[in-house]
Every structure is written in C-alpha cells, then in structure tokens.
Amino acid sequence: MADIVSNSKARREFHILETFEAGIVLRGTEVKSLRAGRGQLNDAYVLIDKEEAFLHNAHIDEYAQGNRENHIPKAPRKLLLHKSEIRKLLGYAKVKSHALIPLSLYWKGGRVKVSVAVGKGKLEFDKRQEIKDRDSDRDLRRVTMHRLKR
C-alpha cells in the first residue's frame, strides 16, 4: 500500500486520534494525474455537509494530455463512507479543537482511497516536547550503536 500523496503537516500539527479509510469520487483526468504522482494534500481538510463528506482544498494537477474537459485542480471531492462512519466523524468534528484531516491518498485494488484522520491540534509545548524526545532517542541509538561496534 504505497502512498500516492501524503500530508506531511498532519502528524506534525495534530495528535491523531482515529483514522478511517474512505473512497473518493474522481474523474478520469484526476486519476491519470494521480498515477503520475501529481497531487498535494498539505492544506486539505474534510467537511461534512448534509450527511456527506467532502475533501476540500486538495490539489490534483491538471492532466497534461487532457483537453478542455480537464478537471478543476482544487475542486471539492466527495468521499465515500458509510452513514455510521459519517455520523462518527461528525461527532468528532463538533468537539472543539478537533479537525478532520486527510493523511494520504493511496491505491487499493486499483482504486484510490483516502486515509482520513480525526486530529486534535497540538500546542507549541507539545511540538517542542516531541522534538526533544526525538533528539534524545537519536542520541540513545547513537550511543548504543557505538558500543555495539566495539
């Protein structure tokens, strides 16, 4: 399950609480453009409107060999989820500081799927603490590897 496009900011800016797998409604030129790896999710988000989920602000480049019927790069795209999943996402979205964010687009059985996460915004303190933890883990690995080489 190789990612076509991933949201690099998502795990840095949010604590991921739960993830969902959703299908996505795409046009032919959008699929061809994604096959070439030409997309971006960095500023994308999911909104629920009238019990339907939509992916907003996801950029899929226009297909180079497309004609005048080419797609709009930042058009909202419908996500395919079960009603119960949409209701659960809606419940999470109503809580303050929770956001619905796409983590990645990937292929599954010849179809494009979206990994949608419920995220809680990180505070500046959390980000600093995460960097400190990562640095200390790296130092610890470096010391243990140095000892193993002797």
pLDDT in tens, 82-123: 999 999 998 988 888 888 999 999 999 888 899 999 998 887
Burial of 20 (0-12, 13-18, 19+ CB in 10 A): buried
Which residue do the tokens 């991933």 mark? 6
Q: How far apart are alpha carbons 146 and 150 in whole angstroms?
A: 7
For the chain, what are the domain ranges? 3-121
Whole-model pTM over 0.75:
yes
pLDDT tens string 18-65: 999 999 998 888 888 888 888 888 888 899 988 899 999 988 888 777
Pairing of strands 39-40, 98-108: unpaired
Q: Top-level CATH class of 3-121? A: mainly beta
